Amino acid sequence: MQGLLNDWRRSNYAKDTTPEIAGEDVTIMGWVHEIRDLGGIIFVIIRDVTGRIQITAPSKKVDAEILEELRAFRKESVVAVKGTVQEAGKAPNGVEIIPKEIKILNLSNQPLPMDPTEKVKAEIDTRLDSRFLDLRKENVSAIFKIKGQMFHTIRDFFYENGFYEINTPKLVASATEGGTELFPITYFEKEAFLGQSPQLYKQMMMGSGMDKVFEIGQIFRAEEHDTLRHLNEAVSIDAEASFMDDEDMMKVLNDMLVNVIADINENCANELEILGHELPEAEGDFPHVTYDEAVDIINSKGVEMDWGEDLSRAAEKALGDTMGGFYFLTKWPSAIKPFYVMPFEDDEKYAHAFDLMYNNLELSSGATRVHQYDLLVKQIEERDLNPDGFGSYLKAFEYGMPPHAGWGVGADRLTMVLTGSENIRECVLFPRDRHRLTP
RNA sequence: GCCCUGGUGGUGUAGGGGCUAUCAUGCGGGCCUGUCGAGCCCGCGACUCGGGUUCAAAUCCCGGCCAGGGCGCCA
């Protein structure tokens, strides 16, 4: 059978094959990026996860059999090459490999559905249809290497600060929370829905005594939105902590993002360079602006907005132009916030709620939560929801629920900021939007 | 869901009632010993779908589907 590894194993990645090891024999494995057959000499560029390396086969130095095998290569096939490293000033990273033995591990079909070398650009729709090929481009995989570092730092940060990682159900019974549309599914003989948020579950966890929890997981929203910053399946980074309020949790979020920015600068310099992206400044405390101040700013920019309204797209842009960078938008009107958000004690038309913005993009929403059963029921009723639909949630508030606060961050939107992407689809491997359900 | 724009080889495009439908890249074949956007020669490959107008539709009209941009929706 062709294409098996047998006793072949990769000895070096492309980036580890440097002039310092000239003279050594190595085994390279990867994809055929380019083939340049000049007749008497053949150049093949092999690409792996770390970069590219050149195979050089001069007809005077290598067997005719090797030349034949190289000519059988097709672009994007998976191959393994054993050969000797040779210093070569003219080659891509200062070295080339003179091949001694070759294996084709899997031949690629032709023509390719898109061009991974990007000589001819492809549209995002074409790219997503062949996402595995698209990801072979270093400026695409760089986004996901940065996103991975982001999750790594966030997990480290939570663990170091005493948060327990939890998993809550994504199959839920209730469609009574109001707000966003849910995806209905069939759950045996019952109707069920895909979870829009872990909100109610992480609050119930506050009644468990575990104090501080976080979850990184998928959320589903059945809205027919069609924008560069909405998807129907997204990843949410959710945190909830007992004996803390909105101010405390803004501090947690602020510190977390400072860590994320620092770690990506430190560990993803190469990816940032590939993307030509500079991370935003993030040190110390982000500015805070109240909702009342924001309304004034927005109106002063000539964008009409009444007190009590949510921000329109134009309002977000006007505010983003003035504020710039990361900033917290605080002290929202209670009426446009969900039932579980704590009103101010002295003026209940305001809520202990905040959004974290980056320019005109909303990254996070958070709040001090209502922990008193009676107030919670009252707020549910005020929003024309039925408390009966919240039975198992409300039960947790009857037997010792501590004061608590929390937030949720859109992980894919945060990735847009960290990678300089204009389209959220760029930041999700296999995005789910209004029209796309495959791959 | 609304508004605007568009849909032409595998990919990215030009054209815009009648000529063999343009170009690049790609793919196949040939030449070529230092390529690195290799070069040169030959060849292959396309008008989103349905209906209408017309002697004639890729082109004009209507509708569907899909895409791009903007907005709305998004506790």
Of the pLDDT bands very low, low, confident and very high (cuts 50, 70, 90), residue A3 is: confident
Of the pLDDT bands very low, low, confident and very high (cuts 50, 70, 90), residue A25 is: very high
Instruction: Determine the pLDDT at residue A417.
Output: 94
Express each pLDDT in A120-161 by its tens digit. 888 898 999 899 999 999 999 999 999 999 999 999 999 999
- Protein residue with the closest CA to the C1' atom of nucleotide B13: A120
Q: How far apart are CA A130 and CA A124, in angstroms?
A: 10
- ipTM comes to 0.87
Of the pLDDT bands very low, low, confident and very high (cuts 50, 70, 90), residue A439 is: confident
pLDDT above 70 for A175: no
pLDDT above 60 for A1: no
Distance of A129 CA from B47 C1′ (whole Å) = 22
Q: How far apart are CA A305 and CA A308, in angstroms?
A: 9
Residues 279-338 of A with CB under 7 A from strand B: 310, 312-314, 317, 336-338
Task: Work out the average pLDDT over A273-289.
Answer: 92
Task: Work out the average pLDDT over A208-237.
Answer: 92
Express each pLDDT in A365-406 by its tens digit. 999 999 999 999 999 999 888 888 888 899 999 999 999 999
Instruction: Name the nucleotide with the smallest C1'–CA separation from A177.
Output: B75
Instruction: Determine the pLDDT at residue A438.
Output: 81
Nucleotides on strand B lying under 7 Å from protein C-beta: 1-2, 10-13, 24-28, 31-38, 66-75
Distance of A123 CA from B45 C1′ (whole Å) = 21
Instruction: Name the nucleotide with the smallest C1'–CA separation from A126.
Output: B11
Instruction: Name the nucleotide with the smallest C1'–CA separation from A54.
Output: B36
Q: Is A240 helix (H, G, I), strand (E, B) or coil?
A: strand
A423 touches strand B (CB under 7 A): yes
A436 touches strand B (CB under 7 A): yes
Instruction: Determine the pLDDT at residue A99.
Output: 95
Element (H, E) at A330: strand A326-330
A119 touches strand B (CB under 7 A): yes
Q: Which long-range contacts (CB under 8 A, 24 or more apart) does A319-323 make?
A: A319/A289, A319/A294, A319/A357, A319/A360, A320/A357, A320/A359, A320/A360, A320/A361, A321/A359, A321/A360, A322/A297, A323/A287, A323/A289, A323/A297, A323/A357, A323/A359
Q: Is A152 helix (H, G, I), strand (E, B) or coil?
A: helix
Instruction: Name the nucleotide with the smallest C1'–CA separation from A60.
Output: B33
Which residues contact residue A365 at a Cβ distance below 8 angstroms, ignoring those fewer than 6 apart? Answer: A353, A354, A355, A356, A407, A408
A170 touches strand B (CB under 7 A): no
Residues 189-228 of A with CB under 7 A from strand B: 196-197, 199, 221, 223-228
